[in-house]
Homo-oligomer: A and B are copies of this chain.
Amino acid sequence: MNIILVTKEDFTSQNSTQLNGSLVLIGTVILNDRRFKHIKEVHKAEAGDKLRVGILHGNTGLGKVIEISEKSVTLELSLTDEPLKPLPLTLILALPRPKMLKRILQSAASLGVAEIYLINSYKVDKSYWSSPVLSEDSLNEHLQLGLEQGISTQLPKIHLRKRFKPFVEDELGAIAKGSEKLVAHPYNASPCPIAVDQSTTLIIGPEGGFIEYEINKLCEIHFQTISLGKRILRVETAIPFAIAKLFSS
């Protein structure tokens, strides 16, 4: 937890003010959940200490510990800084197996991915779709853990699409419009472009890859197959690898 994330609901008092032309959020929060536990046990914070805090979807700044007891911590916040901007990246993943999905969501959020679609594909095991990890609360929990790691406040938007063909035929064209359209696929592929630094839609297949029919459907709507090198990487390794290539910061 490299940043403590709070929401509007955590505030007991709040006001906002202008400082050098930008909006500053000032207020007091009382935390008594896992964030409190982390502040107490990992930071071992005492009254007067200052911690890095952000408000979900909003500014970051400092939280001064006013009081810390066995049950809760009171922080006085001054959220003066604009948050890190998400990468202009929509990541479309064939649904990974649930255990990997958790880590992948955390990793993608920590890397600053703006939007994620989890889609079906021929080689996705059907049972994955009934995993409790796919509940809205669970998805958001893992994304939030990623933000806390990556000191971001912008929660990626996440969508589930259980049918490949209607998603690709009816929706994907509009989603990817105006962006670089890339699908990681090692056959007949160009090398991964370097530092494109513009709006990008990146599709990554399941372990075992997309089948030919699926690749053809994607190519029909102008997705370009790219290679991440001669080695075949697991999805969880391929995501940070591709993002490092595609974006220069």
Chain B proximity mask over A219-245: 1 for CB below 8 Å, otherwise 0: 000000000011111101110111111
A148 to B103, CA, bound (A): 21
Chain A 13-50 residues near chain B, CB threshold 8 A: none
Asked whether B2 lies within 8 Å of A237 as measured between CB atoms, the reply is no
In the complex, residue of chain B having the shortest beta-carbon distance to the beta carbon of A209: B2
**Quick check: is A84 within 8 A (CB to CB) of the other chain?**
yes
Asked whether A150 lies within 8 Å of B111 as measured between CB atoms, the reply is no
Asked whether B231 lies within 8 Å of A112 as measured between CB atoms, the reply is yes
A84 to B230, CA, bound (A): 8
In the complex, residue of chain B having the shortest beta-carbon distance to the beta carbon of A249: B229
**Quick check: is A80 within 8 A (CB to CB) of the other chain?**
no
A106 to B234, CA, bound (A): 10
Given the contacts A231-B150, A232-B149, A110 and B237 also touching, CB distance less than 8 Å? yes
Copies in the complex: 2
Size category of the binding interface on chain A: 20 to 34
A151 to B150, CA, bound (A): 31
A230 to B154, CA, bound (A): 14
In the complex, residue of chain B having the shortest beta-carbon distance to the beta carbon of A233: B110
A202 to B80, CA, bound (A): 35
Q: Could you say which of A110, A191, A237, A249 has the most chain B C-beta atoms within 10 Å of its C-beta?
A: A237
- Inside 8 A of A238's CB, which chain B residues have their CB? 240
- Inside 8 A of A149's CB, which chain B residues have their CB? 231-234
- Inside 8 A of A107's CB, which chain B residues have their CB? 233-234, 236-237
A245 to B232, CA, bound (A): 17
**Quick check: is A152 within 8 A (CB to CB) of the other chain?**
yes
Asked whether B111 lies within 8 Å of A237 as measured between CB atoms, the reply is yes
- Inside 8 A of A84's CB, which chain B residues have their CB? 230-231
Extra contacts besides A194-B194, A237-B240 (15): CB < 8 Å: A2-B232, A84-B230, A107-B233, A110-B231, A110-B232, A149-B231, A149-B233, A150-B232, A150-B233, A238-B240, A240-B240, A240-B241, A240-B244, A244-B244, A244-B245
8 contacts between A and B (CB under 8 A): A2-B232, A107-B236, A110-B237, A149-B231, A149-B234, A150-B233, A194-B194, A240-B241
Nearest 4 pairs of A and B residues by beta carbon:
A244-B244, A150-B231, A240-B241, A241-B244
